[in-house]
Amino acid sequence: MTAMYIWIAECPFIDQGLVRPLVTRSGILVLMCDSCGTVWCSPEELETEKYAQPTAPDWSTLCGVDVSPGTTRWADDQDIELTGWPGVAWKKT
């Protein structure tokens, strides 16, 4: 069985990456490129220069949330329904 990926756009920085919703340890949803790790706080920021490229040791983002490896997971349909952005045209692969 193939896994379903929920995504919003292709990464503007790397042509192989998909920008996907990510659930953080605090339950806040952010967007992250599944290839380069760039993080946006909301869909509106995809078209701006408001993004972060979190690294060790703090893994911080402009949203004030931590995206440390092992503390996050890719969002599923239920996460998006509960905490996602209304009106976003999510894509599924």
6-36 residue pLDDT tens: 999 999 998 889 999 999 999 999 999 999 9
Report whether pLDDT(3) > 70.
no
Tell me the per-residue pLDDT of 44-75, one tens digit each, with 9 for 90 and over: 999 899 999 999 998 989 999 999 999 999 99
The first and second tokens of residue 57, run together, are 């040791």
Per-residue pLDDT at 2: 55
Per-residue pLDDT at 37: 95
Rounded CA separation 69/50 (Å): 22
Rounded CA separation 59/65 (Å): 8
Distances from the Cα of 64 to the Cα of 28, 54, 92, angstroms: 10, 11, 28
Report whether pLDDT(1) > 70.
no
Per-residue pLDDT at 85: 85
The first and second tokens of residue 33, run together, are 């490129």
- Concatenating the DSSP letter of every residue in 41-77 gives SSGGGGGSS--B---TTT-B-TTS-B--TTS-EE--H
